[in-house]
Amino acid sequence: MYLPASEGHPYAFMPETFQKRPGLGLRYLAAALKACGYSVDLLDCLFDQERARNLADELNACRYDLIGFSATHASILRVGSVVSRLDRELYRGRLVAGGPATLQLDDVFDAGIDVAVIGEADETIVSLVRAYEGRTGFDEVRGIAFHDEFDQRVVTPPAAIVSPGRLSIPDWSVFDQLSGDLLEISMKRPYYVVMASRGCPYHCAYCVAWKYWGSRYRGRPVDRVLDEVEFLVRTRGARYIRFLDDVFAMRLDWLDAFCEGLRHRDLRLSWGITLHPLTFGSDRQRAFRMLKDSGCKLVNYGAQSSDPTILRTIGRSADEPAALREAIPMANDMGLATVLTYIFGLPGDDRDTIRGNIEFAVAVRPTLVDFHPLDYLPGSDLVDTMPMEVRCALTTADLSRLCRDAFLEFYGLRGGALRAAWFILRNNPEWLAYASRAAGVLLGLAARRAVSPLNRV
């Protein structure tokens, strides 16, 4: 099962209202287990707070043989809350968790989990279920952690990296038709997600993705990705696909073959991607043209900072701002929606560097900009190895206010809202219908909070 962020987390409201992206990783696991003859229920509660609050009752009534949680830094407390209300006699020893939270095993076991799956679980999960059936010992399953009969923690050797070519099509038998991401103004429904690669070669100090997925970029075979896209279009009616790769299409020849494959198979849909500022280099214009001609509508760049010193401190390249000065106008001219994201509160950040981020975004004129405060992720280099004295001196409250003010300035005073509205009206007016429904939810949420006892003087 997927759970939403723990209640009280600063961004807990986002999946409930804006980013209703369906979970993907567990759908790979469900497909792998079903292929071996196991019966699997997938409970995707990522944007269903009400179901998540009552989930323990549902699980106790269903009396499953095994329960598995996808756990992140943001959701591990929620996992613990559900586990604390389970029938422990029934589920003793039968609770499994995987996901980025396993980079901090103490937190996972403190939540009441019995077995942690470390790293990619596409093949580990089948071996683990067979261990529960008694076919093999738990200590023979690679890539897990558990406590033995003497309550000593056992961590088995890492599992072999799964070849991207062997991944099956994820199980989409459970799907919420309201899935979507309002922060993507090019999105349509039905909205699905796909990963065309695993691994990230960039070692950003604030991030844990490269530690979880590995630092070697592993692109999936073009035909396998096209098969998955075709399945979603032909059998699931997909109209928009968001590729969740940390960096989409590191190689131009892969991109060329993929875009040509979409046209050859007549797969007419819209899609969005994330790129690194340095992706494609001098071939950027050719790459953008291929993307545009094959249905790509949105390109997202994690800029994070416009300051060269800060970029070097967090393991990025000082050349990135110059690359973005070329990339954003070029993509805009081709009609792609462009998005820049910035993190406020990185090591070395102060009010002047944050002001520089805003001025940079105003100058290059992306379609959208996202400003958000730094979240210190356990397992990241920023948390585990960097000395405390290099951290930003601005408080959490300062950073939240600066993010708010940056949004108001960029979209209000600097014309960002008008540019975004013009793009939407010309390219995807149906987005306005989605947004109007979300606005109603947000107004209701604001009203409930306004009358909450916590907000009364």
Question: Hey, where are the domains in the chain?
Answer: 14-155, 177-439
Q: How far, in Å, are 283, 303, 327, 328 from residue 288 at the CA level?
A: 9, 18, 9, 11
DSSP SS3 for 14: helix
Q: What is the pLDDT of residue 212?
A: 82
Between 200 and 330, name the one with better pLDDT.
330
Lowest mean pLDDT among 159-163, 301-305, 393-397: 159-163
115, containing H or E segment: strand 115-117
- Sign of the dihedral defined by the CA atoms of residues 348, 352, 358, 359, in that order: negative
Q: How far, in Å, are 182, 340, 352, 371, 392 from residue 402 at the CA level?
A: 23, 17, 11, 9, 13
Architecture, CATH, for domain 14-155 = 3-Layer(aba) Sandwich (3.40)
Q: Is the pLDDT of residue 251 over 50?
A: yes
Q: Is the pLDDT of residue 439 over 80?
A: no
Q: What is the pLDDT of residue 446?
A: 43
- CATH class, domain 177-439, is alpha beta
The pair of structure tokens assigned to 18 is 């804006």
Q: Considering the entire predicted model, what is its pTM? A: 0.92
Round the average pLDDT of the chain to a whole number and report it: 92
Q: Is the pLDDT of residue 214 over 80?
A: no
- Which pLDDT band, with edges at 50, 70 and 90, does 210 fall under? confident
Show Cβ contacts of residue 174 under 8 Å, excluding neighbours closer than 6 positions. Answer: 42, 43, 44
Give the separation between CA 406 and CA 75, rounded to whole angstroms: 28
334 phi/psi in degrees, rounded to 5: -90, 0
Q: Is the pLDDT of residue 199 over 80?
A: yes
Q: Per residue in 32-58, pLDDT tens?
A: 999 999 999 999 999 888 899 999 999
Q: What is the pLDDT of residue 451?
A: 41
Give the separation between CA 303 and CA 48, rounded to whole angstroms: 31
Q: What is the pLDDT of residue 438?
A: 67
Give the separation between CA 414 and CA 102, rounded to whole angstroms: 43
- Write the Ramachandran bin of 304: left for phi over 0, alpha for psi from -120 to 50, otherwise beta: left
Q: What is the pLDDT of residue 434?
A: 86
Give the separation between CA 38 and CA 40, rounded to whole angstroms: 6
Q: What is the pLDDT of residue 162?
A: 81
In 139-278 the beta strands, taken as DSSP E runs, fall at 144-147, 153-155, 180-181, 191-194, 197-198, 218-219, 240-243, 270-275
Taking residues 311-330, report their average pLDDT.
98
Q: Is the pLDDT of residue 437 over 80?
A: no
Distance of CA 380 to the CA centre of its chain: 16
Are 302 and 276 in contact by the 8 Å Cβ rule? The answer is yes
Q: What is the pLDDT of residue 456?
A: 30
- For the chain, percent of residues with pLDDT exceeding 90: 81
Give the separation between CA 168 and CA 425, rounded to whole angstroms: 38
Q: Is the pLDDT of residue 11 over 90?
A: no
Taking residues 83-90, report their average pLDDT.
96
The pair of structure tokens assigned to 94 is 């039968």
Give the separation between CA 243 and CA 365, rounded to whole angstroms: 24
Q: Per residue in 343-399, pLDDT tens?
A: 999 999 999 999 999 999 999 999 999 999 999 988 899 999 999 899 999 999 999
Q: What is the pLDDT of residue 30?
A: 97
Q: Is the pLDDT of residue 79 over 70?
A: yes
Q: Is the pLDDT of residue 84 over 80?
A: yes
Report the DSSP beta bridge partners of residue 308: none
Q: Is the pLDDT of residue 105 over 70?
A: yes
Taking residues 233-238, report their average pLDDT.
97
DSSP SS3 for 283: helix
